[in-house]
Chain A
Amino acid sequence: MSHLVWALFALTVALDVFGQTAFKFGLEEIGDLPGVAFWRGITTSPWVVAGFLGYCVEAASWMYVVGHAPLSVVGPMAALSYVGAVLAGRLFLGEVPRPRRWIAAALVTIGAGLVGASLG
């Protein structure tokens, strides 16, 4: 995998974490609305729109990564966005993850390290 592909992989994961966080904010603002009102809320929420624009860039970035790296490597490693979400929650949202979540994040990180190392 080239430096460009690794850099775009990191960008993809970062944008995914940003998108998840933005959607979390957006959905909490919108609350529980029925049918059409929910979708109207979605399309007019600045957080959801920002997250969605992030996803558009992420999609292009991810397409390049998958096209230039083994899918059996970058597919599983994409789970690192779960780790990013736990860290972002701790750093930016003041969430205190329970030990179970830290263990899960550690497992994903170790597994991603193994998958990356399998490239040799």
Chain B
Amino acid sequence: MAERASDPKLRAALAGWLLFIALETTIQVVFKFAGETLNADAGAAALIRHALTNPVVLLGFGLYFCGFIVWMTLLKDLDLGRAFPMTAIVYVTTFAAAVLLFGERPNVTRIVGLLVILAGVVLLVSDENSPPSPKAPIDG
């Protein structure tokens, strides 16, 4: 904990994590918009044709791929053991997006459930003997 905020390595790590949190949250939002246009009743062929031609769906997959690259780069280039619990923030930002952008109204049970999940995730990822998963915290 001796680093100062002016430490270039620490700043790079912080910037990487902010980018990661913003990107992961954006992916969930774009996936929500894209997923709403997918209709399983239309049949597999129509579903695939739609997925390959709809710009929002393609944007979602493109961002997903970017998220994958950013995650691999963070794991590879930065010593982030202590910062890894920050991945739990993505759960909070995604939840906030659900409320603010999509007008979802979580009840008390759902909010308590989220807090219990966050406690579990922080406990798990702050475990030093637990290497970070080579994958973003939220699927997709």
Contact = CB atoms under 8 A, between A and B. Distances in A.
B11 to A, nearest CB: 21
Contact of B102 (A55, A71, A98, A118): A71
Nearest to B101: A71
A98 B110 contact: no
A38 interface: yes
Given A42-B72, A58-B139, A76-B91, A82 B35 contact: no
A35 B139 CA distance: 27
A118 B36 contact: no
A101 B61 CA distance: 32
B35 A63 contact: yes
B113 A63 contact: no
A117 B99 CA distance: 18
Contact of B127 (A73, A100, A110): A100
Contact of A79 (B64, B91, B109, B127): B91
B104 interface: yes
Contact of B60 (A52, A63, A65, A100): A63
Interface of A: 4, 12-13, 16, 19-20, 23-24, 27, 38, 42, 52, 55, 58-60, 62-68, 70-73, 75-79, 81-82, 85-86, 98, 100-101, 103-118
Interface of B: 28, 31-38, 40, 51, 57, 60-61, 64, 68, 72, 76, 91, 94-95, 97-99, 102, 104, 106-107, 109-110, 112-121, 123-124, 127, 129-131, 133-135, 137-140
16 contacts: A12-B140, A16-B135, A20-B134, A23-B134, A42-B72, A58-B140, A63-B140, A66-B140, A67-B34, A75-B95, A76-B95, A79-B120, A101-B130, A108-B116, A110-B120, A111-B117
